[in-house]
Amino acid sequence: MKKNKERLISLLASSKNAYISGENLSEELQVTRTSIWKYIKELKEEGYEIEAIRKKGYMLKQIPLHLSESVLKWDLKTAFIGQNIIYRPVLSSTQDMAHELARSGCEAGTLVIADKQTSGRGRLNREWESNHSGGIWMSLVLRPEIAPNNAPQLTLLSAVAVSNAIEKLLAIDVQIKWPNDIFLHNKKLAGILTEMQAEVDKINYLVIGIGINVNQQIEVFGEELQSKVISLKELLDQEIDRKTFIHCILEEFELLYNDYLENGFKPIQKSWVDKAYKIGEEISLKTPKKNFKAIFEGIEHDGSLLVENSNGDIEKIYSAEIDW
Amino acid sequence: MLSIKEINELIEKIDQSSIDEFSYESNGDKVTLKKNTEVHYTPKESAPAHPNQEIVKTNSNQTAEINNEEAQEQVDTTTNSPTYDYEIVSPMVGTFYSSPSPDKPAYVNQGDKVSESTIVCIVEAMKLFNEIEAEINGEITEVLAENGELVEYGQPLFRVKKV
């Protein structure tokens, strides 16, 4: 059923500005013309604009601007990232659903996406404001065959993928705040949360959550956040087609991910450093052992932060609260 | 497994003999007695030793070297009442979190029963949050890491007694 509808969309989409007869469609899909008529009706209800003219056939005028599984899948040029998509208008948290799916054995590359999250979360269950539409809230399940110790590199990789997509699609230069926030004009544009289930020598699965402020007005955020966040719409004064943007991210991600599995972290490291927020500047760090100020020097080959402390020594930081 | 009495007898015998070193291994438990060596704990693998480490017995290949004079005290805490038979170790360098968020109770406490899929803690590095599962059915006998502590790769985080 579902497969047929997807094939119908791609058939209609492949014949740009030309009509395809119901007869051709029913032959191609091996279903009756009544079924074609039913599918077309359903697609229209989902927001596709399809023109039907007697004796000529059907023509796809416009795919819907709102998201749906078929819209998201259509024309996605990846081998596996996002090929299994679960879309819901509202979810408590895409991250939680992705965890559930991963635990029950979903395939690698599965993507969960929602228009709104009623309890979106950041790290340590901090609230991630996303109970409004317009943003991109999605979680990706991966099962990489790498050592769990190397998994944090994928957080940095995700940040590079999102930044690359923004640069390619919108020609905006963004910065990455170590290890994983996307910054624009000193304000937060996107956040990435990576969670993992692993044993000492094996990753069971990884869930990469990506939240991006896209078409929201800043007013939808709570007062204390308004001075700290930015959305693409605010910046560009135009609506962004989220589907195209999501595709761009997924395609960019797959490219980097395959490169990483084959060639390691080095190429990613270089791209990351090129976009590093406040590199060479002084930052304040708070670790379980001490609080100190240091110069942000760069990142190590494993993705950890390199800082030069006041004694001139280079320290490697895996985990810290940082005051940027 | 050797009793303390047996070990004491062994120590006496070895002390009087020309033997410099004596090893005994059974079911993965290993006791090594050496003359004129200091007491120290040396894991065979390069995993960093936990500061509070005083294990003579684990189910991995760890060896405890025991000075013949101080052997009794060491052996006492271990062979007498084995309080655990499995250690949950950290799969990566990072910060140990005992609860999902600061205002939530700890995932597990001493005395809690766990099953293989029970989440016992989180280890975070570079904002990657790793939920650690117990991977064994048993009871938590000891929590070895403190909330917010930096833990090393391979560092024991919990001790579990199988049930």
So where are chain A's domains? 2-62, 69-274, 282-323
CATH number of A2-62: 1.10.10.10
Residues in chain A closer than 8 A to B89 (CB atoms): 200
Q: Is A121 annotated as a binding residue?
A: yes
Q: Name the closest residue on chain B to residue A125, using Cα atoms.
A: B101
Residue A274 has pLDDT above 90, yes or no: yes
Architecture of domain A69-274: 2-Layer Sandwich (3.30)
The 10 Å Cβ neighbour count of residue A138 is: 26
Do the first three CATH levels of A2-62 and A282-323 match, i.e. the same topology?
no
pLDDT reported for residue B62: 44
Question: Does B92 share its domain with B26?
Answer: no
What does the angle CA B112 – CA B114 – CA B117 come to, to the nearest 5 degrees?
A: 150
Q: Provide the number of structural domains found in chain B.
A: 2
Question: Does B91 share its domain with B156?
Answer: yes
- B93 at interface of A, judged by CB pairs closer than 8 A: yes
What ipTM was predicted for this assembly? Answer: 0.77
The reply to whether residue A196 touches residue B102, judged by beta carbons under 8 angstroms, is no
Residue A24 has pLDDT above 60, yes or no: yes
Burial class of residue B160 (count of CB atoms within 10 Å of its CB; 0-12, 13-18, 19+): buried
**Residue B100 belongs to domain spanning:** 86-162
Q: Answer yes or no: are the C-beta atoms of B79 and B56 closer than 8 Å.
A: yes
Residue B20 lies in a domain: yes
Residue B71 lies in a domain: no
* Token pair listed for B97: 């979190």
Residue B39 lies in a domain: no
Residue B80 lies in a domain: no
Report the alpha-carbon distance of residue A22 to residue A32 in Å, rounded: 9
Q: Which residues contact B139 (CB under 8 A, 6 or more apart)?
A: B111, B112, B113, B114, B160, B161, B163
Q: Is A188 annotated as a binding residue?
A: yes
Plot region of B147 (φ>0 → left; ψ -120 to 50 → alpha; else → beta)? beta
Residues in chain B closer than 8 A to A318 (CB atoms): 93-95, 125-126, 150
Q: Closest by alpha carbon to A198, among B135, B113, B98?
A: B135
* d(CA B152, nearest CA chain A) in Å: 10
Q: Please tell me the pTM assigned to this model.
A: 0.74
pLDDT less than 50: residues of chain B: 37-79
3-state secondary structure of B101: coil
Question: Does B94 share its domain with B30?
Answer: no
3-state secondary structure of B142: strand
Domain covering A282-323 assigned CATH 2.30.30.100 in the classification: yes
Q: Which residue has the higher pLDDT, A228 or B27?
A: A228
Residues in chain B closer than 8 A to A199 (CB atoms): 91, 133, 135
Residue A175 has pLDDT above 90, yes or no: yes
* Token pair listed for A35: 């079924």
Residue B101 lies in a domain: yes
The reply to whether residue B91 touches residue A152, judged by beta carbons under 8 angstroms, is no
Average pLDDT over residues A170-196: 94
CA B91 vs CA A145, A216, A280, A281, B158: distances in Å? 14, 39, 31, 32, 13
The reply to whether residue B126 touches residue A199, judged by beta carbons under 8 angstroms, is no
Q: What is the DSSP letter of A171?
A: -
Q: Name the closest residue on chain B to residue A208, using Cα atoms.
A: B128
pLDDT reported for residue B157: 97
Residue-wise pLDDT tens digits, A127-136: 888 888 899 9
Question: Does B156 share its domain with B90?
Answer: yes
